[in-house]
Structure 1
């Protein structure tokens, strides 16, 4: 139940921001895509920020938290490399 209330709260917050920006919902495609990018990057701010505060360099923090993989998803051509690495480890 908690996750549903958090989701509702996030939706309300986004609705308020849309209203302040005078953007109708559903947002135009470009506005919506930029908003989704903001969500993906925003999700990585806390874990990467924690790594930075512990003294880890920015690039190392992003690598450790797999921030780029989370934001960009599985990039083309990476699946073969990842599968080969998994087989070598196993």
Structure 2
């Protein structure tokens, strides 16, 4: 389970760095985006526990 989580984290960091380099505005305010990411992570963990 750790490897997919690390791959997802790495992909997120790379996309975030690309957005920052291109100065692309995020479609959601940062706090709202982080809450959404936390929800996805909790959902994945809940499904993995089943």
Q: What is the TM-score with the length of structure 1 in the denominator?
A: 0.29
**Which structure is higher in helix share?**
2
Q: Is the radius of gyration larger for structure 1 or structure 2?
A: 1
Q: What is the TM-score with the length of structure 2 in the denominator?
A: 0.45
